Copies of this chain bind each other. A is one copy, B any other.
Amino acid sequence: MTADDPTATRGPVHIVGTGLLGTSIGLALTARGVPVTLADTSPSMLALARDLGAGTIESAPAPELVVVAVPPDVTSDEVAAALQRFPDAVVTDVASVKSVLLAELRIEARTDPTLDLSRYVGSHPMAGREKSGAAAASADMFTGRPWVIAAHSGSAERAVLAVRALAADAGAAVVSMDAGEHDEAVALISHVPQLMASLMAAQLVEAPDRALALAGQGVRDVTRIAASDPRLWSAILTGNAPAVSALLRTIRAELDTLLDAVERAASDGPLAPGAVSGISRLISAGNDGVARVPGKHGGARRRYTEVIVLVPDEPGELGRLFSEVGEIGVNIEDFQMEHSPKQKVGMAIVSVTPEAAQPLEQALEQRGWRVVAP
């Protein structure tokens, strides 16, 4: 990175909001030598981010770029304030919703002509964790993740380049979308899955312990993200309400069709007309949908073959397995551990390229491992 490289952030970069994302961006830029200043309404959060090495808290008189990393419901106010306070700076935000922010800013610009939206480009790094706050931040949070750059029709080219450079400097894969395309995409692959996980998990609140004791990996996976923060998610979901409600209405219609089929079976028995076909149609559509979800490296998940190995539940055994897979010369594309309560043997589900699967199984068996799939 040199001062002449137009594709790199020169700085100083001013970050407003030192939560998980703001602090992580500060850490990533600082690690690349970009000067970063930090601001937060909470002095203790601010001090924590500084102590973690995310930047300094001296005020920057003329930042090149301002990154607004506050909750979605206060983002447009902070973007407008930054545009006014720093008349030469490019301003971006990292909120999970984009259309509502742009609409709010455009309304404000109509009543206040000094608000220069050509310097604003919204963005959204597709990274995060169930934990929040600076303490969970990491310079590597964006490495290889998509980072959506959502320029609007009035964005200046220099502003778009500056935000693309920010995403690239943080190690992310830049994706260009307008605000509407972004919001529909995240409704589908993030916001509605969150709600489906929460709807399912909410049914478990009053469940008998004996029922929960039968839980396997399926319900664990379906409900995992239900552990997310209610305050943050309320702001995200109200901010993306048009796209989310359109999808929820479709799901409600499909749920009604499903419920009709299940209730036929409940009242007239398993072979009631329309019962099996109604349920089977939904499960088949689910088969088709899940096959389209990309796995690692952008491929569909079916590109990989699973090799299932039994692993004793003792320190070092998983390590021995992975070492030996490495010695055999096979790369692990994905990995999952499956087990149940009281189990003393786990199933290590190792995904590898199809051509590597059979040689790996044979080599592992020769080394004494118990491979489950024949």
Choice from B205, B263, B315 contacting A329 with Cβ under 8 Å: B315
**Is the Cβ of B289 less than 8 Å from the Cβ of A201?**
yes
Choice from B173, B336, B345 contacting A342 with Cβ under 8 Å: B173
**Is the Cβ of A283 less than 8 Å from the Cβ of B233?**
yes
A52: chain B residues within 8 A (beta carbon): 374
**Is the Cβ of A263 less than 8 Å from the Cβ of B241?**
yes
A229: chain B residues within 8 A (beta carbon): 283
Closest to A340 in B: B145
Which one of A8-16, A110-118, A292-300 is at the B interface?
A292-300
A224: chain B residues within 8 A (beta carbon): 218, 221-222, 290
Closest to A283 in B: B230
A-B contact pairs, 10 of them (CB 8 A): A73-B271, A181-B210, A201-B286, A220-B301, A227-B286, A230-B280, A245-B259, A248-B255, A297-B342, A316-B325
> Complex formed: what's the CA distance from A144 to B221 in Å?
20
User: What per-residue 1/0 map shows which CB atoms of A108-130 lie under 8 Å from chain B?
Assistant: 00000000000000000011000
Give 15 new A-B contacts, CB below 8 A, not counting A218-B225, A237-B262, A255-B255.
A131-B373, A144-B340, A197-B218, A200-B251, A201-B286, A201-B288, A202-B289, A222-B222, A241-B266, A296-B341, A318-B325, A318-B332, A318-B335, A321-B322, A322-B323
